[in-house]
Chain A
Amino acid sequence: MTDRPLVNVVAPVDAPPAGYALPGAVDQPTGYGSTLMELSKVSVFYGDYEAVRDTSMPVRKHQITAMIGPSGCGKSTILRSLNRMNDLVSGARVAGRVTYHGQDLYARDVDPIQVRRHIGMVFQKPNPFPKSIFDNVAYGLRINKIKDNIGDRVEEALRGAALWDEVKGKLKTSGLALSGGQQQRLCIARTIAVRPDVILMDEPCSALDPIATSKIEDLMHELAKQYTIVIVTHNMQQAARVSHYTAFFTAEVDQAGVRHGRLVEFNDTGKIFTNPADKRTEDYITGRFG
């Protein structure tokens, strides 16, 4: 195991990966592809249990980074370490460094609340608040003490989440009255209303039907123009369809018999799916896994 690198990280790039373009990604903003967040030797512990070990990978600006892998491989755990949502789990601890704009997110003086205002999150199950559609989107603005043009900001966010046309006549109705796909887009609108820098998505389509899924995927291409996206998905086709970069995680058992998650390979999505460097990646994407 030790004679080959556990992680194949491509050299950082400042240009789009060659021969790989997304339909929605035509007019790329500046700074495209530069490293916005960086994980170096990140391990996440729950109490004494080291759930994910030694993860190093970049998150590039205005790109979609997908994390794939089997259940228990730690991809969601790593995702949650990117905006300190793991803090909410008692006993959780992060070792190593997660940087954002070069700043260590786990430094002593960093406020997790501020981190989450810059790095938002969309969850697996659509979870709108039991409030009106308008209030759902406005919630983030209100807690950020934004008082001017709330109506405009809500409309902008709903347009950004491709939901405006479906809900503009009924902003006062409950967010829970929407369909599952609409609810998830409402959650995306709620997240982008506060104009975060990065959006983390934890299997955002796994509770949705194929049509709703494809709407969210289209939306992600749009969102990548303004935001940096990291998505965890069980669905390899989805990773192949939407992402620029893919990180493949797997679950391993160490010498002591402890099962833990590990990053196997990080690369351009095109390379991961056509020419993976690691045998384990190849086995997984071709369906020969376990």
Chain B
Amino acid sequence: MTKTLNRPPASTPAPQTDLTTSGGGVWGDRVFAAVCVAAGALVLAILALILVTTTQQSWAALRDSGLSFVTSPRWVANDPDGDGPLGPRFGALALIYGTAIVSLIALVIAVPISIGIALFITELAPRRLRGLSVTVIDLLAAVPSVVFGLWGILVVAPAIVPVYQWIHDLVDGIPVLDTVFGVPVSSGRGYMTAGLIVAIMIIPIITSIAREVFATVPEADKHAALALGATRWEMIRGAVFPHSFGGLVGAVMLGLGRAMGETIAVALTIGAAIQITGNVFQAGEALPSIIVRQWGESAGQHRAALIGLGVVLFALTILINLLARIVVRHAEARMKGAAR
């Protein structure tokens, strides 16, 4: 029966042996390839365009400040002296510092919690609880950031001052710690509060990616560990983590990207003080938050400098992502045995 399928219709004179082209199929492939390349190129083009136009718009300020734009901690939006003896007015260092500290606090809090939740969901939770946990975490991701910010400023900040005070009293007199956990600002708005809020915001992202990553660990690896008499935790350390390293770095990077770029929640909770202090309970200011705070009242050089902050932030995120990529590639190569 099946032979008739292969036999050419009676009217066809001879079987085709022309292998050069087959009409429609090739065109389909070409169109498909073109669409895909275009889509990829579009992303690159948009990125390049953003970088070029923002740099252009901020050029006046960047040129005036030169390197001090990133090395000076002084940011004076309304200098009565103009470009008087005070020197360059726009230095982003305090803001870069604020962004770094808030992101660091957020990661230190969010990463262990997220990995813990992801492990709970993939390795420990009974099936019924799994779905529920996933739903709750996803709901957290759906909350708008301004709501988090308002909650932070109205509820968290006032309530948390006694906690900060307690921690400060606890570490008082211990050399480094009593600087890091110094006297809290009375409003409760500062690096730590902003970091806490941002941590809550990035937990869902890191959790859901970590969950996907853990789910790809082969059952065989887990069984191998368990068959050696590993406890659940030893199995996770021996079989799950080495397998997941690259993916986890990716998860953390996405969280970090979100943390660094988070604007409104940070603007509401960080306290708007342009300063560099080792005290995480003090008020500060971050790159994106100062942009929204000062944008409306800015003009000329000031506005150019604010756009320049955007360029700095953009460059920082790209730099960190590239670094992470190198780390992951290196680790994976070693894992697979490609690197000697």
Chain B residues 84 to 113 lying within 8 A of chain A, measured CB to CB, are: none
Determine how close the nearest CB of chain B comes to the CB of A230; give it in whole angstroms. Answer: 13
Q: Which residues of the partner chain B approach A129 to less than 8 Å between Cβ atoms? A: 221, 224-225, 238-239, 242-243
Give Cα A212–Cα B220 distance, bound, in whole angstroms: 20
Determine how close the nearest CB of chain B comes to the CB of A126; give it in whole angstroms. Answer: 9
Which of B2-10, B157-165, B317-325, B332-340 lines the interface with chain A? B332-340
Binary CB contact string for chain A from 111 to 154 against chain B (1 if under 8 A, 0 otherwise): 00111110011010101111100000001100110000000000
**Residue of chain B at shortest CB distance from A170:** B340
Determine how close the nearest CB of chain A comes to the CB of B292; give it in whole angstroms. Answer: 44
Chain A residues 183 to 210 lying within 8 A of chain B, measured CB to CB, are: 187, 190-191, 194
In the complex, whether B37 has a CB less than 8 A from a CB of chain A is: no
* Residue contact B229 to A130, C-beta cutoff 8 Å: no
**Residue of chain B at shortest CB distance from A131:** B242
Q: Which residues of the partner chain A approach B228 to less than 8 Å between Cβ atoms? A: 116-117, 120, 139-140, 143, 190-191, 194
In the complex, whether B293 has a CB less than 8 A from a CB of chain A is: no
**Residue of chain A at shortest CB distance from B230:** A143
In the complex, whether B116 has a CB less than 8 A from a CB of chain A is: no
* Residue contact B227 to A130, C-beta cutoff 8 Å: no
* Residue contact A127 to B224, C-beta cutoff 8 Å: yes
Q: Which residues of the partner chain B approach A194 to less than 8 Å between Cβ atoms? A: 228-229
In the complex, whether B82 has a CB less than 8 A from a CB of chain A is: no
Give Cα A192–Cα B334 distance, bound, in whole angstroms: 26
Contact A173 to B337, CB < 8 A, known contacts A143-B229, A143-B230: yes
Query: Which residue, of A127, A144, A173, A174, has the highest number of chain B Cβ atoms within 10 A?
Result: A127
Q: Which residues of the partner chain B approach A139 to less than 8 Å between Cβ atoms? A: 225, 228, 238
In the complex, whether A88 has a CB less than 8 A from a CB of chain B is: yes
Give Cα A143–Cα B224 distance, bound, in whole angstroms: 13
Q: Which residues of the partner chain B approach A190 to less than 8 Å between Cβ atoms? A: 224, 228
Binary CB contact string for chain B from 214 to 258 against chain A (1 if under 8 A, 0 otherwise): 000010110111111111001000110011000000000000000
* Residue contact B334 to A174, C-beta cutoff 8 Å: yes
A-B contact count (CB 8 A): 82
* Residue contact B226 to A88, C-beta cutoff 8 Å: yes
Interface residues of A, count at CB 8 A? 32
In the complex, whether A285 has a CB less than 8 A from a CB of chain B is: no
In the complex, whether A92 has a CB less than 8 A from a CB of chain B is: no
Task: Enumerate 26 A-B pairs (CB-CB under 8 Å) in ascending A order.
Answer: A83-B227, A85-B226, A115-B229, A116-B227, A116-B229, A120-B228, A121-B223, A123-B220, A123-B223, A123-B224, A127-B221, A129-B242, A130-B242, A130-B243, A131-B242, A131-B335, A139-B225, A139-B228, A143-B231, A173-B337, A174-B334, A175-B337, A176-B336, A178-B337, A187-B224, A190-B224
Extra inter-chain contacts (20) besides given A113-B231, A121-B223, A190-B228, CB under 8 Å: A83-B227, A90-B127, A114-B229, A120-B227, A123-B227, A127-B218, A129-B221, A129-B224, A129-B243, A130-B221, A130-B242, A139-B225, A139-B228, A139-B238, A140-B229, A143-B228, A173-B340, A176-B336, A178-B337, A194-B229
Binding site for A on B (CB under 8 A): 127, 218, 220-221, 223-231, 234, 238-239, 242-243, 334-338, 340
List the 5 closest A-B pairs by CB distance, nearest first: A177-B337, A174-B337, A117-B229, A121-B227, A127-B220
Binding site for B on A (CB under 8 A): 83, 85, 88, 90, 113-117, 120-121, 123, 125, 127-131, 139-140, 143-144, 173-178, 187, 190-191, 194
